[in-house]
């Protein structure tokens, strides 16, 4: 789960169908605004099709369906070609480039070294290049290699939660908080910045447990991360979360819960949030009447870090409050869809 992806990516299987590593620019790259050193700057997001996340190929997380986007035959040349096509179209005048591979950019199995180095060299002048990786690939050795080509890297790690029981019991992430802390230290020691992804509402948690876990995780991750990205869980195809959702045993988080987390933790870290699929049944949602406004306020907050962004009020807050307090008494299912 990562931030920066828009709802265009919500149906990955459809997106991947009929393509063999060759994709149209519009679906796999887009521009936006992001925060860089307190300033709002233009950013370019690029999705790269690789052979897929090493963990997803072997086991996989309960909420992640991105493996469906991968191409088992993706060659180094395919990956490079995708990037250069995007750059040819959008140019290199962006302050931030985000490279999303649906896996670990630093995994040499997934992104072969020549592709990795070519891509990083091409973006050497961009003030910030964000790549994603599982902590096991954030090693001193690999980072020494990559900083030769690009010194403005930010390593984004899907920590999801600081609670090992939740990360491995509910998400099946397959690493520990200590792994994250180690990776973060290594990255910082090489002069790189670190972003931690936190997942709001993994399956099997009540709304209140999810809220408390996100706040606790922010507290614990903040000392090790330059930016925290709060990712609101959405229902992706082919995942355990989807199976639970279809059985009415899972509901994506309320947008109010996200607002509450952002309000309560804002002093601790730079915290950003893009409510992917906000206001839909598969994405984070409220009652339906207030969703649009709350989504836009969350996006606004991500850029301003100013909690006075949050002005929306709706009668469904009374219901949300009640859900927080009483959902646990259902013993395993959300109170409202």
Q: Which residues contact other proteins (rule: CB under 8 A)? A: 247-249, 315-316, 318-319, 322-323, 325-326, 328-336
Sheet strand arrangement including 128-132 = 29-36, 39-47, 96-100, 128-132, 153-160, 193-200, 227-232, 270-273
Report the DSSP pairing between strands 39-47 and 153-160.
Answer: unpaired
Residues 6+ apart with CB under 8 A from 164: 176, 177
Q: Cβ closer to other proteins: 209 or 226?
A: 209
Q: Which is nearer to other proteins, 26 or 318 (CB)?
A: 318
**Shortest Å, Cβ 207 to other proteins:** 13
Rounded least distance, CB 39 to other proteins, Å? 40
List Cα–Cα distances, 198 to 47, 210, 227, in angstroms.
20, 11, 11
Tokens 């936006």 found at: 32
Among residues 124 and 336, whose Cβ is nearest to other proteins? Answer: 336
| Smallest separation, CB 311 to other proteins (Å) | 17
Nearer to other proteins, 311 or 315 (CB): 315
For residues 293 and 25, what is the distance between their CA atoms, to the nearest angstrom?
29
> Nearest 5°: phi and psi at 249?
-105, 0
CA-to-CA dists, residue 273 to 41, 52, 80, 297, angstroms: 16, 24, 29, 10
| Alpha-carbon distances of 314 from 161, 255, 286, 292, 317, rounded to whole Å | 29, 12, 10, 12, 6
Query: Quick one: 249 or 268, whose CB is closer to other proteins?
Result: 249
Q: How far is the CB of 210 from other proteins (least distance, A)?
A: 17
Q: How far is the CB of 3 from other proteins (least distance, A)?
A: 30
Complex with other proteins: residue 65 or 334, whichever CB lies closer: 334
CB of 240 to other proteins, least distance (A): 13
Which residue's CB is nearer to other proteins, number 84 or number 322?
322
- Name the minimum Å distance from CB 64 to other proteins: 23
* CA-based radius of gyration for the chain: 19
């Amino acid at each position: 789960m990562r931030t920066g992806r828009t709802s265009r990516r919500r149906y990955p299987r459809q997106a991947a169908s009929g393509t063999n590593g060759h994709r149209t620019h519009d679906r796999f790259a887009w521009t936006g605004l992001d925060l860089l050193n307190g300033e709002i700057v233009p950013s370019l997001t690029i999705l790269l099709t690789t052979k897929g996340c090493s963990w997803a190929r072997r086991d996989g997380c309960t909420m992640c369906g991105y493996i469906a986007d991968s191409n088992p035959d993706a060659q180094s040349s395919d990956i490079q070609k995708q990037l250069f096509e995007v750059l040819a179209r959008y140019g290199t005048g962006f302050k931030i480039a985000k490279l999303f591979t649906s896996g670990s950019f630093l995994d040499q199995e997934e992104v072969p070294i020549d592709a990795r180095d070519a891509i990083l060299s091409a973006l050497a002048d961009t003030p910030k290049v964000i790549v994603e990786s599982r902590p096991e690939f954030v090693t001193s050795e690999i980072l020494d290699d990559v900083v030769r080509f690009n010194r403005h890297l930010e390593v984004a790690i899907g920590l999801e939660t600081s609670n090992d029981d939740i990360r491995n019991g509910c998400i099946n992430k397959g690493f520990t908080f200590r792994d994250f802390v180690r990776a973060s230290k290594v990255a910082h020691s090489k002069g790189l910045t670190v972003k931690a992804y936190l997942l709001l509402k993994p399956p099997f948690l009540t709304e209140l447990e999810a809220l408390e876990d996100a706040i606790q995780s922010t507290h614990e991750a903040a000392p090790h991360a330059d930016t925290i990205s709060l990712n609101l869980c959405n229902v992706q195809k082919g995942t355990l979360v989807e199976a639970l959702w279809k059985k009415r045993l899972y509901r994506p988080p309320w947008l109010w819960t996200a607002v509450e987390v952002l309000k309560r933790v804002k002093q601790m870290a730079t915290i950003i949030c893009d409510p992917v699929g906000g206001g839909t049944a598969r994405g984070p949602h409220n009652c339906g009447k207030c969703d649009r406004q709350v989504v836009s306020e969350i996006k606004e907050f991500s850029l301003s870090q100013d909690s006075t962004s949050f002005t929306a009020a709706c009668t469904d807050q009374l219901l949300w409050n009640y859900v927080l307090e009483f959902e646990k008494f259902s013993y395993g299912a959300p109170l409202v869809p």
